Structures are given as C-alpha cells and as structure tokens.
Amino acid sequence: MFGLNAAFGFSATFVGSYVSGEFEALAISDNDSKYIGVLSATTSCVAAVCSLLFGAMARKPYIGKGPILILGAMFFFAVGFVFFVVPDPHDWDFRTLLMIYSFQGIGRATFEGTLRATFADMFPTEKEGAFANVSVKTFQMLCIICVSY
C-alpha cells in the first residue's frame, strides 16, 4: 500500500511544482498564470466525481477495491509518462494540460477514497490507527521528495 502513497506524493509534487510552476506558462503562453486556478480546480472536481463513481464500483462484489487502486496507480503513472513521451511544452495546449490535471484527479480520487477505505478495512477496530498510518506514510514520502530537491 506504500506504493500508492508514493505514487500520490510524487505525482502531486510533480503537478504542483513543475507542471503548474514552469511547464504551464510555456505550454500555453500564460505568463500571468491566469489558468492555474482553473486547471487546479479541475483536479478537485474530477476527484470528487470519480470518488462517487469509485465508491459505487467498490461496493460491487465482482469489482471490489483492488481494480480501482490499480486504475489510480495507472493514472498516476500516466501523469509523468506523458511528459516523457511529449517533453516539449510547445507541443502542448490547454486541452492536453486539462487532461493531465484530470489524470491527477482520477488518481487522487483513488488515494483519498478507495485507498483510505482499504486502510480502514485492514484496521477494523482501530480506525484512528488506520488513518494515522496513511498520514504518516504520506508525510514520509513528502519528506523524501523535499530532501531529494
């Protein structure tokens, strides 16, 4: 379960620092950062909608939580992989950036919803310990990322 915590930490840091901080201005000539709010809000909106969908899917006995967690990991991977495939910001436009922020939202929905529910399932009598474990793992990943800069 640490892997999804790590994927969320790396992906959120990548989108928050590199994509929003440097790449977006070059890709759509947004020197005043007018579109950062719209793009960042896209992540939250997509995460909210997907959380509802994933919650309904996870309750289906033939789906469960596992495939949803795998889907989230794939979208976290896609966030970085797309930049590996198309590294030049001048080949990007607003729609492709919107796609990246949507991918981040789908991954975030799995992290904030399904992964936390999985932790709660693993600690049925100690919910505080389950969510403290998620927070500690996320904090550890953020510390590792900060030290690596």
Task: Calculate mean pLDDT across residues 116-127.
Answer: 74
Least confident of 13-17, 96-100, 127-131, 144-148: 144-148
28 versus 146: the higher-pLDDT residue is 28
Say yes or no to pLDDT of 20 above 60.
yes
- Give me the sign of the Cα torsion angle 70, 71, 73, 74: positive
Give pLDDT, residue 118: 77
* DSSP per residue, 3-58: HHHHHHHHHHHIIIIIIIIIIHHHHTT-TT--SHHHHHHHHHHHHHHHHHHHHHHH
Say yes or no to pLDDT of 67 above 80.
yes
